[in-house]
Amino acid sequence: MIKEWQTIERGEFSPVYLIIGTEAYIIQETLKRIEENALIADEAEFNYANFDLTETSIEVAIGEAESVPFWGDRKVVILQRPTFLTSEKDKVDHQIKGFENYLNEPVPFTILVIVAGVDKLDARKKISKLVQKNAVVIDATAPNEQSLLRWLSERATALNMDYEPAAMQELMVLTNFQLSVAIQELEKIALFVNGGLMTVQIVEDMVVRSLEQNVFQLTEKVVNKETGKALRIYQDLIKQKEEPIKILALLISQFRLMNQVKIMKKKGYSDPEMARTLKVHPYRAKLAAQSVRNIELIHLQTALAALAKADFELKTGRGLPGQKVEWFIFNWHA
């Protein structure tokens, strides 16, 4: 999926790489490939340096990049969290002139990797423009639904595992469309099926749900008037020592999203437009739109008002936390 990985694995390196984005799996796999293909194992500890630029000045890091390898022919230097390339405020006073000189004329024995830690640099800064001009840029932004499906399909093939299309969709939903989490769960399932078929039931049984995902499922059961199932999900969360007030806050978030989606649908917004405006994953917007299709806006607003009231009462010491959530589940009547 990352074309630069192929050249790295062939031993064809660029002197400077810039990794843009926050997807942990892509970042870590890129760093792993560079280290494994650029350095001989016995020499790696002598020729590998990793700097956090929120704690260390860029001058120190570039000094390391310019120093000849202690052992071997090549070294790898990683620059993490370069806030001076973004709109974030620096804690360190970076003198970037030496960095500019290095970018214009990098040394031949060092592979410099800049891990931005953000989805975009501050385009107003001269140094940001220079980095993007002189570096090979690797895209580590979170993939959309279609790209995520391709990533997981390719990984399933590499693991010699077949899957039901619905099972892969369920895996993406249950891992909140996070590539690193989805890959981890997919590899776990591959060990279990051992060359067999990944089914929806296997995914539901094996994937570890986050609190957010459990509350999403709880909301779905409430909206569909499956009161018994909703109560079981809630009671399981309580047994897992989750705080009712935290569950209530997430329920408010879910119903607020559904309210917003219902209003925007009435105004003619598409699912991608809603996702961009609300800053949520496109599939979340799509699922919310499906959930509210047959629910009147007044019922959603009433539910949100009831949840907000329960939240206020809990925060002011009125009532038992567990009862507030149960009462809401019992009284949903859309």
Q: Is the domain of 161 the same as that of 98?
A: no
Measured distance CA(99)–CA(88) in Å, rounded: 19
The CATH number of the domain holding residue 201 is 1.10.8.60
Q: Is the domain of 222 the same as that of 314?
A: yes
Measured distance CA(235)–CA(313) in Å, rounded: 21
In terms of pLDDT, which residue wins out, 284 or 146? Answer: 146
Closest CA to 282 of 299, 257, 263, 303: 257
Determine the number of helices (DSSP H) and then strands (DSSP E) in the chain: 16, 7
Q: Is the domain of 42 the same as that of 169?
A: no
Q: Is the domain of 270 the same as that of 235?
A: yes
pTM: 0.77
260 and 278 Cβ atoms separated by less than 8 Å:
yes
**Predicted confidence (pLDDT) at residue 321 exceeds the cutoff of 80:** no
| Dihedral, CA of residue 196, residue 201, residue 202 and residue 205, to nearest 10 | -170
Measured distance CA(33)–CA(31) in Å, rounded: 6
Q: Is the domain of 182 the same as that of 298?
A: no
The CATH number of the domain holding residue 29 is 3.40.50.300
**Predicted confidence (pLDDT) at residue 144 exceeds the cutoff of 70:** yes
Q: Is the domain of 123 the same as that of 177?
A: no
Residue that is written with structure tokens 């077949």 in the block: 162
Q: Is the domain of 288 the same as that of 301?
A: yes
Q: 105: burial class by Cβ within 10 Å (0-12, 13-18, 19+)? A: exposed
| Dihedral, CA of residue 281, residue 283, residue 284 and residue 287, to nearest 10 | 170
Q: Which two tokens stand for residue 188?
A: 């776990």
Calculate mean pLDDT across residues 183-206: 95
Q: Is the domain of 43 the same as that of 116?
A: yes
Question: Which segment, 57-61, 212-216, 252-256, is predicted with the most confidence on average?
Answer: 57-61
Q: Which of 180-194, 222-236, 256-270, 316-330 has the lowest mean pLDDT?
A: 316-330
The CATH number of the domain holding residue 296 is 1.20.272.10
Q: Is the domain of 159 the same as that of 242?
A: no
State the residue range of the domain holding 310: 211-331
Tell me the sheet residues that pair with 280. none
Q: What is the pLDDT of residues 251-267, one digit of tens each?
A: 999 999 999 999 999 99
**Predicted confidence (pLDDT) at residue 333 exceeds the cutoff of 70:** no
CB-based contacts of 97, cutoff 8 Å, min separation 6: none
Q: Is the domain of 307 the same as that of 321?
A: yes
Measured distance CA(261)–CA(299) in Å, rounded: 14
Q: Is the domain of 59 the same as that of 43?
A: yes
Q: Is the domain of 283 the same as that of 296?
A: yes
Identity of the amino acid at 117:
G
Boundary (domain end) residue, out of 139, 159, 181? 139
Q: What is the pLDDT of residues 6-38, one digit of tens each?
A: 999 999 999 999 999 999 999 999 999 999 999
Calculate mean pLDDT across residues 120-146: 94
